[in-house]
Amino acid sequence: MKGKIAFEEHMAIEETLAQTKDFAGDSGRFDEFSNEILDLDELRLATMDRTGIELALLSLNAPAVQAILDRDEAVAVAVKANKRMAKAVNDHPDRYRALAALPMQDPEAAADELKRCVNELGFKGALVNGFTQRDVEDSAIYYDVAEYRDFWAVVSDLDVPFYLHPRMNIPSQSLIYEGHPWLRSAPWGFAVETSTHALRLCGSGLFDDFPNLRIITGHLGEGIPFGLWRIDARMRFSPRGYRGKRPLGDYFREHFHITTSGNFNDAAFRCTLEMMGADRLYFSADYPFERMEDAANWFDSTPVIDDEQRQTIGRENAIKLFDLDM
């Protein structure tokens, strides 16, 4: 399929590049991987051309800003990353848009940076790499807590999507993975961490306060669509601490949007499609952590959807979600 739009497509700046090394695959590939994630010109564009991706919304790699303990440094790195993405969009206006990196260590600064990126630079939303560390290494702050309500008010006022992207939990909070460090990473821990964060947002009353919020998750929903029926079924018996006014599944289906990034599997896709509907699904690749070729070859040929749905999921939904001028 030609004309696809993808928006879990990562870039890096020199300050955040080293954080990708553990996810580059074979350690001997890091030089090649570095070229891919730093490049926003011929190399990336040529791969997009080969795979039928017309437009990519760029975002900063993980955990990047969210792992910086000092607030001022976090602001500086976010601003630098956003400046680099803005340049790429300016250089290739027909091929790129951008999602802002945000210094969530300071909710007011994060809100100000989002306003700047949307109103002055034309960014289409934000992508944040999970929880934020602040001041001390052993910290993890999630965005359902009260100090972020004013930040969410700004997201609501701007009416732009917020992509909740994975990161690994910190070792002190990962005792269940002890002796099995591979579990903390992309094979399992990414989904556990991100899905739990997403469920916290659903259960916090956030969407009652801001009913127009739109949250994106990748990897076919980080496992939530598969478990959504049981979550709602058991919540009837154990809702202690739940602050939503409606069933959790209602919030998830109404406020969450899901991409195919890094999960190119027919069975998982079928489940997500049945639980969420085609109007809540989107194509993405997760480049360069995944290959655009793998993402596109699977999506273009999967028998789970027909050609009309392929066009809807691969292109039209993203145009609506991000209000793209194309």
pLDDT tier at 27 (50, 70, 90 boundaries)? Answer: low
Average pLDDT over residues 278-304: 98
Average pLDDT over residues 305-309: 98
Q: How far apart are CA 113 and CA 126, in angstroms?
A: 10
What's the confidence (pLDDT) of residue 8? 97
User: Do residues 82 and 91 touch, judged by C-beta distance below 8 A?
Assistant: no
**Residue 276 domain boundaries:** 4-322
Work out the mean pLDDT of the chain and round it to a whole number: 96
245 Cβ partners below 8 Å, 6+ apart?
Answer: 205, 208
What's the confidence (pLDDT) of residue 237? 84
Query: What confidence tens digit (pLDDT) does each residue in 32-70 have?
Result: 999 999 999 999 999 999 999 999 999 999 999 999 999
**Residues tagged active-site:** 286
Neighbours of 235 (CB within 10 A): 16
Q: How far apart are CA 268 and CA 270, in angstroms?
A: 5
The 3-state secondary structure of 183-217 reads HHCCCCHHHHHHHHHHHHHHHCCHHHHCCCCCEEE
Neighbours of 2 (CB within 10 A): 11
What's the confidence (pLDDT) of residue 24? 67
pLDDT at 22 over 80: no
Beta pairing class for 281-282 and 4-11: unpaired
Query: What confidence tens digit (pLDDT) does each residue in 261-272 have?
Result: 999 999 999 999
Average pLDDT over residues 107-126: 98
What's the confidence (pLDDT) of residue 301? 98
Contacts 24+ apart (CB under 8 A), 42-45: 44/287, 45/92, 45/95
What's the confidence (pLDDT) of residue 25? 64
| CATH classification at residue 16 | 3.20.20.140
Average pLDDT over residues 192-199: 98
Average pLDDT over residues 136-146: 97
**In the chain, how many domains are there?**
1
pLDDT tier at 144 (50, 70, 90 boundaries)? Answer: very high
Percent of the chain with pLDDT over 70: 98
User: Do residues 258 and 272 touch, judged by C-beta distance below 8 A?
Assistant: yes
pLDDT tier at 26 (50, 70, 90 boundaries)? Answer: low
What's the confidence (pLDDT) of residue 19? 85
User: Do residues 106 and 67 touch, judged by C-beta distance below 8 A?
Assistant: no
Judging by beta carbons within 10 Å of its beta carbon (0-12, 13-18, 19+), is residue 311 exposed, middle or buried? middle
Query: What confidence tens digit (pLDDT) does each residue in 154-192 have?
Result: 999 999 999 999 999 999 889 999 999 999 999 999 999
